[in-house]
A and B are shown apart, each in its own frame.
Chain A
Amino acid sequence: MSASILELQDVNKVYRPMRREPVHAVRDFSLTVNRGEIVALLGSSGCGKTSVLRMIAGFEEVSAGAIRLGGRDIHGLAPAKRGVAMAFEGYSLYPPLTLKENIAIALKSQGIGREQYEAKVRTIAQLLEIEDILGRYPSSVSAGQQQRVSLGRALIREAALHLLDEPMGQLEPQLRAVLRGRIKHFIKEQRLTAILVTHDQTEANALADRIAVMEEGRLQQFDTPEEIKARPANLFTGTFIGEPPMNTLNATARLEDNLLKFHLEEDVVLGYPEDAFATGLRDRLLELEQVTIGVRPHAVKLGEQGVSAKVYANQWLGDQSHVAMHFAGSNLISVSHEHVPVVTGATVDIAFPVAELHLFDSRNGTALSHGGDPVEVPPVT
């Protein structure tokens, strides 16, 4: 048996509004989801992630390409025949039914016994902390509670695939952290396969086994959260993933005095021993000349000898400090887990160790190296 359960092959979606230019919302999108896996479709609004989800569910037609679920083509089927469960972003609860009836609506048609029915609903209600409001109607509970019910209605179903559209956007922040863990545990325990659409990377990181990062209708990178963080395929993924976002500096690479030097704006130069970079990579950098340097805020270490920057904000958030600086014509952010005693207006020393550098081709944003190691496989463009 094959491990993959869902396959999207070169899926395209073109919207043709009347009297306006067609919109190519999803372009050549291919993705394989394994049985029992949680995959997050992550991107900002308008990136095409919701279109992909709606095509899998059957609410949108596929303009070109194929979608297979469990080895069978489903892109021509009606939504009800696809064997897919979905939690909607707008909840879509049935107003005349109680929350309990809303959750159990799919069980009715399965014809299961009274006891099993009660047990299932109870499990889901406990999981989502809605036991005490089950008898109420959708209009009388908060948005967060409605969203939990909507999630419960999807999770209670037995389906080959569960689609969750922004399932936690409205939840109370305190509850969100707890529910993330519980829902992930539940999905794994029940061996469900789930696709989650979200714009919140914290949610994607916490829930998903693999993340598909989307932008402008294209898949930018599809990998584990750790891998995306450590080795972003391009500048977009690099700056999109990570909170706070990765610092970027435009540089010109030159070989001078046996040092590989990156010339930044305002005559700031970062120099590294020639052999800090693999030979092939070094040649590539010198050939390209225009590169973009990416450094994660957590990797910018203050107080280490190197270059200097001017502080314009220092904010302490209880368990971490965010220091913002002007450096070489850009804004640079440093995050540390201790309280940093620098004041606004001060000049501080900073260093950029080779191991923390991400280098990108300035022309198209393609990743060249991470921490001095060249990128071997050409990434998706």
Chain B
Amino acid sequence: MSVTAGLSVTSLSKSFKDLQVLDKVTFDVPKSETLVLFGPSGAGKTVLLRCIAGAVDADSGTVQIDGDDVTQVPPESRGVGMAFQNFALFPHMNAFENIASPLRAQRQPRLSLAETVDSVARLLKIDHVLDHAPRELSNGQKQRTALARALAAEPGLLLLDDPLRNVDAKLRFEMRLELPRLLADRQATVVYVTQDYKEAMALGDRIAVLDQGRIVQIGSAAAIYRRPANITIAKLFGDPVINLLEVVPEREKQAISVQVSNQQIMLPHAADDVIGRPCMLGIRPEDIAITAPDVPAAVPVSIEAETPLNEKIVSLAITQRGRELLASRPADVASPSAGAAGFLFNGDGVMLFDRESERRIDMQSDSGKKTA
């Protein structure tokens, strides 16, 4: 394990008083991979990152970096770089000194130190503000300075704690596209914390979903989006949120189907053991096509409201049984009908969850399906 893993966390637990923040967290990040820790606020992401950095001591469990057990090693000797959500710049030092601080700790000679700071500052386009104090920097520049400080000493392990949280939307977007290249060039092992699912999907080679101190799923963006382990995860990914309908699968001729409003939805890949089980049917808004009301296999609905969401139009509709359903489509696709309409479910996008355990029920087609 330690041969391949840049970072290896084993059974890490942490409590504050009576509150268990981390519960036997275990995962590996192979060298040069970016793992995104994703979860709602309070899931324990930030504490986990600080335990890896050594800023917070775990109650039990181990942290290995490049095969060395560093659980008892103080933060300054772990050789990691870290960027913080609130930047955590040293307010009494200018940007240059902030970026230089990890190099000063290594006692780099002055000349090569200035060179290193300059090159990383140029890379992040902040070389013109190196003599500014943090309070004179814009939020974007602060964020880049914090990132430069984390990168300066070329650490083998880079911990990024929601670094784009406090910058404006435009900059966040630019950085989201720029970061992967930057990180790939450095060949660093990266643990990236975020609570924005889009950022998680865009940046992670793999995503670890953390909920209430536990890792509930680890996988590629595509795997988590298309095959979420449970309802909670399904709801965390996707905007607008996934539609969930209470159903009980039944046998319909040769196939298994569920009833939505007064329409049978076929589940060609479901196994027999789901028949009669209380389930939740999940369908993402973009997997619903809006048709005329009389199209066969479409669920008849009445569209209540259409609201813009970025470049999409979200339609809120109510079925004949009074259930709310959301469908979304690109803004440049005209609405085929207003008022009465049909919602056609894309069969590949349909998910089935057990209502009691909230776990997703595997349907055979998933295992064979190529991920995007």
Q: Are B332 and A322 in contact (CB under 8 A)?
A: no
In the complex, what's the smallest C-beta–C-beta distance from A39 to chain B, in angstroms?
Answer: 17
Given A225-B308, A331-B174, 12 extra CB contacts under 8 A: A44-B168, A177-B309, A180-B307, A240-B170, A244-B173, A245-B169, A298-B331, A312-B177, A317-B198, A317-B201, A318-B197, A333-B173
B202 CB contacts on chain A under 8 angstroms: 315-317, 322
The contact string, 1 if C-beta is below 8 Å from chain A, for chain B 165-196, is: 00011100110111011000000000000010
The complex places the Cα of A173 from the Cα of B174 at a distance, in Å, of 22
With contact pairs A199-B168, A319-B238 given, residues A298 and B332 touching in the complex (Cβ less than 8 Å): yes
A206 CB contacts on chain B under 8 angstroms: 307-309
In the complex, what's the smallest C-beta–C-beta distance from A240 to chain B, in angstroms?
Answer: 8
The contact string, 1 if C-beta is below 8 Å from chain B, for chain A 170-186, is: 00111001001100010
Q: Are A322 and B240 in contact (CB under 8 A)?
A: no
Residue of A nearest to B184 (CB): A344
Selected contact of A239 from candidates B170, B178, B237, CB within 8 Å:
B170
Q: Are A181 and B309 in contact (CB under 8 A)?
A: no
A185 CB contacts on chain B under 8 angstroms: 305
Does B235 sit at the interface, judged by CB under 8 A?
Answer: yes
B372 CB contacts on chain A under 8 angstroms: 316, 339
Q: Are B307 and A316 in contact (CB under 8 A)?
A: no
B123 CB contacts on chain A under 8 angstroms: none
Selected contact of B221 from candidates A173, A239, A313, A316, CB within 8 Å:
A316
In the complex, what's the smallest C-beta–C-beta distance from A242 to chain B, in angstroms?
Answer: 8
With contact pairs A318-B225, A339-B372 given, residues A298 and B238 touching in the complex (Cβ less than 8 Å): no
Does B40 sit at the interface, judged by CB under 8 A?
Answer: yes
Q: Are B201 and A181 in contact (CB under 8 A)?
A: no
Q: Are A313 and B180 in contact (CB under 8 A)?
A: yes
With contact pairs A206-B309, A225-B308, A243-B169 given, residues A316 and B176 touching in the complex (Cβ less than 8 Å): no
Q: Are A205 and B308 in contact (CB under 8 A)?
A: yes
Residue of A nearest to B196 (CB): A173
Does B284 sit at the interface, judged by CB under 8 A?
Answer: yes
Residue of B nearest to A178 (CB): B241
A–B pairs, 15, beta carbons within 8 Å: A44-B168, A177-B241, A226-B308, A243-B310, A244-B170, A244-B173, A245-B173, A312-B181, A315-B203, A316-B201, A316-B372, A318-B225, A319-B238, A331-B174, A337-B312
Q: Are B176 and A181 in contact (CB under 8 A)?
A: no
In the complex, what's the smallest C-beta–C-beta distance from A220 to chain B, in angstroms?
Answer: 15
Secondary structure at chain A's binding surface: helix, strand, loop or mixed?
A: mixed
B273 CB contacts on chain A under 8 angstroms: none
Q: Are A315 and B308 in contact (CB under 8 A)?
A: no
The contact string, 1 if C-beta is below 8 Å from chain A, for chain B 215-237, is: 00000011001000000000111
Does B330 sit at the interface, judged by CB under 8 A?
Answer: yes
Kindly identify, within residues 179 to 224 of chain A, every residue whose CB is under 8 Å from any CB belonging to chain B: 180-181, 185, 199-202, 205-206
B173 CB contacts on chain A under 8 angstroms: 243-245, 333
Q: Are A298 and B311 in contact (CB under 8 A)?
A: yes
In the complex, what's the smallest C-beta–C-beta distance from A330 to chain B, in angstroms?
Answer: 12
B310 CB contacts on chain A under 8 angstroms: 202, 243
> Looking at chain B, what size class is its interface with the partner chain?
35 or more
Q: Are A316 and B181 in contact (CB under 8 A)?
A: no
Residues of A within 8 A of B (CB): 44, 172-174, 177, 180-181, 185, 199-202, 205-206, 225-226, 239-240, 243-245, 298, 312-313, 315-320, 322, 324, 331, 333, 335, 337, 339, 344
Q: Are A318 and B237 in contact (CB under 8 A)?
A: yes
Does B13 sit at the interface, judged by CB under 8 A?
Answer: no
B305 CB contacts on chain A under 8 angstroms: 181, 185
The contact string, 1 if C-beta is below 8 Å from chain A, for chain B 309-346, is: 11110001000000000001011100000000000000
With contact pairs A174-B235, A177-B241 given, residues A319 and B286 touching in the complex (Cβ less than 8 Å): yes
Selected contact of A174 from candidates B178, B241, B308, B331, CB within 8 Å:
B241
B238 CB contacts on chain A under 8 angstroms: 318-319
Most interface-central of B168, B239, B332 (chain A CB within 10 A): B239
The complex places the Cα of A226 from the Cα of B40 at a distance, in Å, of 32
B195 CB contacts on chain A under 8 angstroms: 173
B308 CB contacts on chain A under 8 angstroms: 205-206, 225-226
Most interface-central of A180, A225, A313, A335 (chain B CB within 10 A): A313
A44 CB contacts on chain B under 8 angstroms: 168
Q: Are B169 and A201 in contact (CB under 8 A)?
A: yes
In the complex, what's the smallest C-beta–C-beta distance from A208 to chain B, in angstroms?
Answer: 11
Q: Are B307 and A181 in contact (CB under 8 A)?
A: yes
In the complex, what's the smallest C-beta–C-beta distance from B193 to chain A, in angstroms?
Answer: 16
Q: Are A315 and B176 in contact (CB under 8 A)?
A: yes
The complex places the Cα of A333 from the Cα of B197 at a distance, in Å, of 20
B176 CB contacts on chain A under 8 angstroms: 315
Selected contact of B177 from candidates A173, A174, A225, A322, CB within 8 Å:
A322
Residue of B nearest to A315 (CB): B202
Selected contact of B330 from candidates A202, A226, A312, A337, CB within 8 Å:
A337
Residue of B nearest to A298 (CB): B311
Selected contact of A245 from candidates B170, B225, B236, CB within 8 Å:
B170
Kindly identify, within residues 238 to 266 of chain B, every residue whose CB is under 8 Å from any CB belonging to chain A: 238-241
Selected contact of A315 from candidates B201, B236, B328, CB within 8 Å:
B201
Residue of B nearest to A318 (CB): B225
A313 CB contacts on chain B under 8 angstroms: 177-178, 180-181
In the complex, what's the smallest C-beta–C-beta distance from B199 to chain A, in angstroms?
Answer: 9
A181 CB contacts on chain B under 8 angstroms: 305, 307, 316
With contact pairs A298-B332, A319-B284, A337-B330 given, residues A177 and B177 touching in the complex (Cβ less than 8 Å): no
The contact string, 1 if C-beta is below 8 Å from chain A, for chain B 285-309, is: 0100000000000000000010111
In the complex, what's the smallest C-beta–C-beta distance from A47 to chain B, in angstroms?
Answer: 11
The complex places the Cα of A237 from the Cα of B286 at a distance, in Å, of 29
Residue of A nearest to B310 (CB): A243
With contact pairs A316-B221, A316-B222 given, residues A202 and B177 touching in the complex (Cβ less than 8 Å): no
The complex places the Cα of A206 from the Cα of B305 at a distance, in Å, of 11
B177 CB contacts on chain A under 8 angstroms: 312-313, 315, 322, 324, 331, 333
In the complex, what's the smallest C-beta–C-beta distance from A146 to chain B, in angstroms?
Answer: 14
